Structure 1
Amino acid sequence: MAYPSTDETLQLLSELVSIPSPSGNTNEVISFVEKYLQEHHVETKRNRKGGLIATIKGKDDYNHRMLTAHVDTLGAIVKEIKPTGRLKLDLIGGFKYNSIEGEYCEIETSIGKKYTGTILMHQTSVHVYKDAGKAERNQENMEVRLDEVVHNSEDVRALGIEVGDFVSFDPRVQITPSGFIKSRHLDDKASVAILLSLIKQIKLEKLELPYTTHFLISNNEEIGYGGNSNITPETVEYLAVDMGAIGDGQSTDEFTVSICVKDASGPYHFELRKKLVQLAIDNEIGYKLDIYPYYGSDASAAIRSGHDIVHGLVGPGIDSSHAFERTHKSSIENTAKLLYHYVQSEMVNI
């Protein structure tokens, strides 16, 4: 037995977070994942929504499993080109404007041209604006300052920038000597990296899985419907791999795998949850049970869309979710170990 390489997983993570992929504009990162899987001789197909499904046949082809993680991220879209040549934004995903104040960003036009900029308050200069510190961080007051010589909206449109162009945020990924990973978009590219490393390890060891297992790399989770389709009728268990949320009253930390008991959609399947806990105990894997009060996953989206499945949710603990995110390599390792044992285990509901 050999667990997936943590160093390779972290390298993959760094590459994934560096590929812009706000919900609605994920083709580049899906192509990256598709190429990676094809290089490891894994059968893949794209769904009509633009997500990717990888399948590994198992001993039992009548009962299937599905694991999912999402590559789409928070981002923004150009709402308005202001007369000053600055851009007004509309947010993609659930986060607050204060979490992107001062962030470097990239604007991609409909024909693929890319420009850089900075997201700022209109009233940023304390030498000019008396209310610079008190003004509300909202759509009205925040704007993108383009790194181009523009004086008005006509200059901006001459660059090819238009309403509807996607805006992505600089991930600023760093891996510290102490083992912390700091980056935007650890939600959920940390989990995608873990799944890709798991698939590679299955292939390297030539493991025969007990059940045919699908890996859905979804691309619309941040807007609520990434993992709610392309679930085979044979699928019994559906496990979302997504971040564990850290904060006051939470058990989740940056060092263990978080096993979700309940989120805003309600409780996850009790028997599957107990099974995941037992796998962690049996294999000396650090874990925490937790409830995420303002959270939904691909698994909860699948349940809401009417699929008759056993659903669960696990993932690495992520600090400051949907903002300045951080986790530790030990949380990546514990999540990878739990998934390694899970895909080789018996189902709870056959």
Structure 2
Amino acid sequence: MDHLEIDIDYMRNVLLELLRTPSPSGRTDAVMQIIGDRLAELGLPIEITRRGVLRVTLPGESHDASRAVVVHADTIGCMVKRLKENGRLEVVPIGTHSARFAEGAQVTVFVDDLTQIYTGTVLPLMSSGHNFGEAVDTQGVGWHQVEIRIDEDVATREDLIELGLRVGDFVALDAAPQITPNGYVKSRHLDDKAGVAACLAAVKALVEHGAVLPVTAYLLVTIGEEVGMGATHGLDDRVAELVAVDNAVVSPGQESREDTVNIAMLDSTGPFDYHLTRRLIRLCQEHDLPHRRDVYRFYRSDAAPAIESGMEARTALIGFGVESSHGHERTHLDGVRRVAELLTIYLSSPLTFTDWDEDPTGKLEDFPSHSVQPAEPEPEATPGRHG
């Protein structure tokens, strides 16, 4: 089938709503409520696991085997490690990210009293050029080199305690999203809220066009990917294929782009499924979707914990390109849209191996081999940036 038209306004509005809702790993309830509400508006059945992972079912013609698209709603963030004697907060990172990109960030601090939040700023220990002079340029980089200044009249540790601040409070780096007139999206936490927006836009297109899916599909939204505990549960052994949707690395030495679909061949946990990745590439070729193949060295996605937890499924990873990931991130609406388009095509197509993948096991002589028709070679021409 041709890819379905994506509601760009819906995708953009959902993306901004998600970005403006803090969700560091471990404190994701608010953003999951928003995602659940958007899916409920589409009339889809939703289930929440004990740990808070969300699963929505897209019924298909066959229930013997199924497939899943997995995306995560949690982001990097921080946690209060110490209330300092100077009335400031020492923090440690949640997820892997550098304090270099946190310096100057506006933050929201969540205390145990759910009715109270505090705002603040991440500052280097030497934050005043008028006081420290050239020393501000030689201070080292690291989480022990920064502190959070709370926007309250505090000067001591006791002042912080009186406000209700405690060790273990969550700190969210404010996203501060902007969309430029030419479609660039600049924001923290595009990883992976742009992926969630793409998935919701794809599901909306499938529902509104009355698409008939050949097999039942699940959208699984996880809440611990940034700390290595993504798709560890929520799916059963009928799931034959799992496609993770996450950011693709746009950086010197990488092939990924902000305005294309990017298909991972390998990440830090090893190669993705040979047949499923080539099928996704062929779908892009057949439907004229600009795409890139790439390899990511310092990266893992929801697919890794799914396999590590014992799931028996083919896995693949598709991504929207993110420049300066886990830093001052940027992507393009074209790339997010094209990921959504590929999802509508993929979910409307048969399993990679319909007969074989209906059962979790089979005979050796029937196992699909690498003799399957390979994808066509990639054209050398660079795709148009916003075409």
Shift of 1:149: 0.5
Shift of 1:128: 2.0
2:146 corresponds, among 142, 160, 165, to 142
Q: Could you say which residue in structure 2 is the equivalent of 1:54? A: 56
Q: Could you say which residue in structure 2 is the equivalent of 1:116? A: 119
Q: Separation in 2 of the partners of 1:248 and 1:265?
A: 21
TM-score by length of 2: 0.89
Question: Which 5+ residue runs of structure 2 have no aligned equivalent?
Answer: 358-387
How many residues are aligned here? 350
CA contact (8 A) 1:66 1:216 kept: yes
> For 1:140-219, what aligned pairs fall within 5 Å after superposition?
140-219=144-223
Q: Separation in 1 of the partners of 2:38 and 2:72?
A: 16
Task: Please give the per-residue CA displacement for 1:268-326, whole angstroms capped at 9, x wherever unaligned.
Answer: 00100110000000000000000010000001211122211100000100100001100
CA contact (8 A) 1:3 1:340 kept: no
Task: Please give the per-residue CA displacement for 1:87-121, whole angstroms capped at 9, x wherever unaligned.
Answer: 00010011100011011000010122110000001
Q: Could you say which residue in structure 2 is the equivalent of 1:34? A: 36
> For 1:1-350, what aligned pairs fall within 5 Å after superposition?
2-112=4-114, 113-129=116-132, 130-349=134-353, 350=357
Q: Separation in 2 of the partners of 1:136 and 1:180?
A: 32
Q: Separation in 2 of the partners of 1:300 and 1:319?
A: 23
Identity %: 35
Task: Please give the per-residue CA displacement for 1:141-177, whole angstroms capped at 9, x wherever unaligned.
Answer: 2000000001111111111111101000111101101
Give SS of 2:104's match. Answer: coil
Shift of 1:215: 0.4
Moved more, 329-338 or 277-286: 329-338
Q: Separation in 2 of the partners of 1:226 and 1:184?
A: 20
Shift of 1:131: 2.0
Q: Which amino acid aligns with 2:126?
A: Q
Q: Separation in 2 of the partners of 1:87 and 1:344?
A: 50
Give SS of 1:151's match. Answer: coil
Shift of 1:134: 1.0
Task: Please give the per-residue CA displacement for 1:174-213, whole angstroms capped at 9, x wherever unaligned.
Answer: 1101110111110000010111111111111121211111
Question: Which 5+ residue runs of structure 1 have no aligned equivalent?
Answer: none
Q: Separation in 1 of the partners of 2:205 and 2:261?
A: 19
CA contact (8 A) 1:226 1:298 kept: yes
TM-score by length of 1: 0.98
Shift of 1:139: 2.4
Q: Which amino acid aligns with 1:34?
A: G
Q: Separation in 2 of the partners of 1:287 and 1:139?
A: 37
CA contact (8 A) 2:53 2:234 kept: no
Q: Which amino acid aligns with 2:244?
A: A
Give SS of 2:153's match. Answer: coil
Q: Separation in 1 of the partners of 2:45 and 2:118?
A: 36
Give SS of 1:184's match. Answer: coil
Give SS of 1:132's match. Answer: helix
Q: Could you say which residue in structure 1 is the equivalent of 2:385? A: none
CA contact (8 A) 1:83 1:153 kept: yes
Task: Please give the per-residue CA displacement for 1:48-101, whole angstroms capped at 9, x wherever unaligned.
Answer: 221111111110111011101111000000000001110000100111000110
Moved more, 123-132 or 177-186: 123-132
CA contact (8 A) 1:3 1:336 kept: no
